[in-house]
Structures are given as C-alpha cells and as structure tokens.
C-alpha cells in the first residue's frame, strides 16, 4: 500500500503546500496534522517544529523531511525515532534569498545606513568617512550551503571575506578558518560578523561576551541563523560599552519576539521577523518530492542529517 505524507508546520499553512504537493505527485496522499488518520499509514513526515512525540507516534515512518534548512526544530524532540533518516532542505532559491539578506545588511552597515537614518531623523547633514569594500573585513560563521554563497557574493562586491567551519575547507578561493584557533583568528579580523551556523550543542550561545571581546572595537553583528546562538544580555552589554556598534537580528530565542523586548526599540539593533530565507513551496516542493522518489527508488539521499553532529 502507498504510504501517506503527514504535513505539520507550526508557521506555514497547508493551503500553500497541499496544492503544490498534489500537483507534482498526484499519487501521494497528503494528510495535514492534526488529521493524521491511522498513524500506521504515514510513511513520510514533512515538518517544521513538530510537537514532541508526534514523529515517534507514527509506527511506519520511513523518512523525516525538514521544511527548513535547519533541523534543530526536529532534533530537539526527546522522543525522536533515531532509526528514521532526516533530510534537510537545501533549495538554491532559499540560498539566494539568504545571500540577498546578508548582502543587504552588510552593505547598509558598510555604507553607514543606520547612522544616516539617525541623522535624517535629526535633520543633520554630515558626511561620514567611507571605506572601500576592499578595506572592510567580513567574517562569516558557517562555510556551508548558505555561508559559501553569501561569501562568494560579498567577495564579488570586493569585501575582504573569511569563513569559519568545523572542518578545514576551501572553495572558490574563499579564505577559510576552522576550529577553535580558527575562530579566534577570524573574529580578530572581522569588522562585520555574520552568523550562518546550524544550532547545535557546540554552537549554542556562540555570539557571547567572549566572542564579542575578540572583535575589533565598533564591530557589527548579523545573526540570521538561530536565536539561541546569541546570548542576549551579552549583546546588550557589548552595545552599551560601544565595543559592538550595531546588530542586525533575524532570529530570536522566542519567536515572535515578545512585545516589550528591549531589542524592539534599541537604537542600534535592527529586527527582522525570521524572513532572511523563507521556505517557498513553489521551489521547495519539487526538491522534497525528489527526495521521496530517491528514497523509494533506493538511491542515496542528498542532504541527509547526521543527528550525532547536530546538522
Ligand atoms: P550547512 O549544514 O550547509 O552548513 C553549516 C556550516 O556550519 C558548515 O560549514 C559547518 O562546518 C559549520 N559548523 C557547524 N558546526 C560548527 C562548529 N561547531 N564549529 C564551526 N563550524 C561549524 O547549513 P546551511 O548553510 O544550509 O544553514 C545554516 C543555518 O542557517 C541553518 O542550520 C539554519 O539554522 C539557518 N537558516 C536560517 C534561515 C533564516 O531565514 N533566518 C533560513 C535558512 C537557514 P563543516 O563545513 O566543517 O561541516
Ligand atoms: C530554515 C529557516 O532553517 O527558515 O530554513 O530558518
């Protein structure tokens, strides 16, 4: 009997996904949580932040498909069925969207856009000293699908880019640093640091006082990865001391960012609502269905997650 796919997203609607999935793979029955029906029918789960225990309640589950590039929202389930493979989403359009976000933020920081907005609100006409892009160092934490593309595009604009990864990496002539010693070296040279890491036990809280202290004075921080990478109080303290001059944050410990949170009205923090690279069904559904076909044909899975590593 053909197995059904269970769709469960805590942020996206079935109305955006079901027609795409049905059109591309008419033979695949799509059920939408909480309408699971007989749990034994479900072979595939396409999920964003599923309820803890939901995946374990599906006795014939064969494959878990993440609706996002990150999988921390799945791996945090204490009842996760560890024998079931997990595949994350790598969509070239999402990668391009993240690079747009990173390039946009780096350019506005590089070109003093926040300062000019503040000056305008006071009616001040004052020219600020402008470096060339080649004189501006950007450090990207994460040399994966997203970090690599953003790094390449920033380098194309002339920025002095370096990237950080766990293992030694080289790609497209991009400068790479690895491991603990590599992080120290990368931070010391980065006027703008961009976090594009997966959230794991090793990377949680990486944007901390210790990290900020290693950046040059006046550096800026962009976090487009996960809210738990950032120690919020440490950022506020670094901004208060002037060691960090500004931050652009797309992701937060609590989403939506609670009203009244100090980040909302901070003059040196830009808040965006987790939109750096949203999953788009029109480009993601074909990739997800290709994964299911590969699985059914016994071909190797692409972008399979290593739960022990955490990404
Ligand atoms: P990848 O898995 O392709 O890349 C991860 C990179 O992080 C790799 O270079 C990896 O190193 C590095 N890394 C992991 N752990 C460590 C560590 N302990 N020390 C140093 N480097 C480490 O992920 P993606 O680039 O596709 O995505 C990154 C993250 O971006 C996602 O996990 C998600 O959280 C976030 N994201 C946010 C979005 C948004 O809208 N805000 C949208 C999409 C993703 P190595 O190469 O050695 O393995
Ligand atoms: C993702 C995200 O991980 O949107 O894809 O955050």
**Residue 15 lies inside a defined structural domain of this protein:** yes
Beta pairing class for 137-141 and 160-165: parallel
**Residue 308 lies inside a defined structural domain of this protein:** no
Same domain as 80, residue 157: no
Same domain as 231, residue 140: yes
Ligand 2 pocket test, pick from 277, 278, 280, 284 with the greatest ligand atom count within 8 Å of Cβ, gives 277
Are 289 and 267 contacting, i.e. CB atoms less than 8 angstroms apart? no
Same domain as 242, residue 143: yes
Same domain as 292, residue 166: no
Task: Look up residue 199 and give its two tokens.
Answer: 């959230």
Same domain as 214, residue 168: yes
Q: Which one of the listed residues 274, 294, 299, 309 is annotated catalytic?
A: 274
Q: Establish whether residue 70 lines the binding site of ligand 2, counting it when its CB lies within 6 angstroms of any ligand atom.
A: yes
Q: How many structural domains are present in the chain?
A: 2
- Tell whether omega for the bond before 256 is within 30 degrees of 0, i.e. cis: yes
**Residue 156 lies inside a defined structural domain of this protein:** yes
**Residue 250 lies inside a defined structural domain of this protein:** yes
Same domain as 246, residue 123: yes
CB contact set of 309 (below 8 Å; sequence gap of 6+): 200
Q: Is 49 left (phi over 0), alpha (psi -120 to 50) or beta?
A: left
Q: Find the angle CA(214)-CA(143)-CA(212) to the nearest 5 degrees.
A: 15
Domain CATH number, residue 40: 3.40.50.720
Same domain as 147, residue 85: no
Same domain as 173, residue 66: no
**Residue 149 lies inside a defined structural domain of this protein:** yes
Same domain as 98, residue 75: no
pLDDT < 50 positions in the chain: none
- Predicted pLDDT of residue 1: 64
Phi, psi of 17 (to 5 degrees): -100, -40
**Residue 302 lies inside a defined structural domain of this protein:** no
Ligand 1 pocket test, pick from 144, 163, 168, 253 with the greatest ligand atom count within 8 Å of Cβ, gives 144
Same domain as 233, residue 170: yes
Q: Is 294 designated active site?
A: no
- Predicted pLDDT of residue 228: 98
**Residue 218 lies inside a defined structural domain of this protein:** yes
- Predicted pLDDT of residue 2: 80
Same domain as 180, residue 246: yes
Are 307 and 69 contacting, i.e. CB atoms less than 8 angstroms apart? no
Task: Name the residue range of residue 228's domain.
Answer: 92-271
What residues form DSSP beta bridges with 247?
A: 221, 269
Q: Which is nearest to 143 in space by CA: 162, 163, 122?
A: 163
Alpha-carbon distance values, 216 to 115, 186, 247, 270 (Å): 19, 11, 14, 20
Around ligand 1, the residues with Cβ closer than 6 Å are 68-70, 98, 142-147, 164-167, 169, 196-200, 202-203, 224-226, 250-251, 274, 276-277, 311
**Residue 199 lies inside a defined structural domain of this protein:** yes
pLDDT tens readout for residues 188-237: 999 999 999 999 999 999 999 999 999 999 999 999 999 999 999 999 99
Same domain as 264, residue 119: yes
Q: Is 274 designated active site?
A: yes
């Amino acid at each position: 009997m053909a197995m059904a796919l269970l769709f469960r997203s805590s942020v996206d609607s079935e109305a955006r996904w079901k027609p795409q999935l049905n059109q591309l793979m008419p033979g695949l029955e799509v059920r939408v949580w909480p309408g699971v029906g007989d749990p034994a029918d479900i072979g595939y789960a396409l999920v964003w932040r599923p309820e803890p225990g939901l995946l374990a309640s599906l006795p014939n589950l064969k494959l878990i498909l993440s609706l996002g590039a990150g999988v921390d929202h799945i791996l945090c389930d204490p009842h996760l069925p560890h024998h079931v493979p997990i595949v994350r989403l790598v969509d070239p359009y999402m990668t391009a969207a993240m690079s747009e976000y990173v390039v946009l933020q780096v350019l506005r920081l590089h070109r003093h856009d926040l300062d000019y907005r503040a000056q305008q609100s006071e009616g001040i006409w004052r020219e600020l000293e402008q470096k060339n892009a080649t004189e501006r160092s950007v450090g990207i934490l994460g040399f994966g699908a997203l970090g690599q593309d953003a790094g390449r595009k920033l380098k194309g604009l002339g920025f002095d880019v370096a990237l950080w990864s766990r293992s030694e990496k080289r790609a497209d002539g991009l400068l790479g640093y690895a491991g603990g010693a590599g992080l120290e070296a990368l931070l010391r040279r980065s006027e703008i640091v961009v976090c594009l890491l997966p959230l794991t036990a090793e990377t949680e809280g990486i944007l901390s006082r210790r990290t900020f202290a290693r950046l040059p004075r006046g550096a800026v921080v962009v976090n487009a990865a996960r809210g738990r990478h950032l120690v919020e109080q440490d950022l506020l303290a670094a901004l208060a001391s002037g060691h960090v001059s500004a931050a652009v944050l797309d992701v937060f410990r609590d989403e939506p960012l609670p009203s009244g949170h100090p980040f909302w009205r901070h003059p040196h923090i830009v808040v965006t609502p987790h939109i750096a690279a949203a999953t788009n069904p029109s480009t993601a559904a074909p990739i997800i269905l290709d994964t299911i076909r590969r699985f059914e044909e016994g071909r190797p899975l692409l972008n399979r997650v290593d739960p022990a590593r955490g990404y």
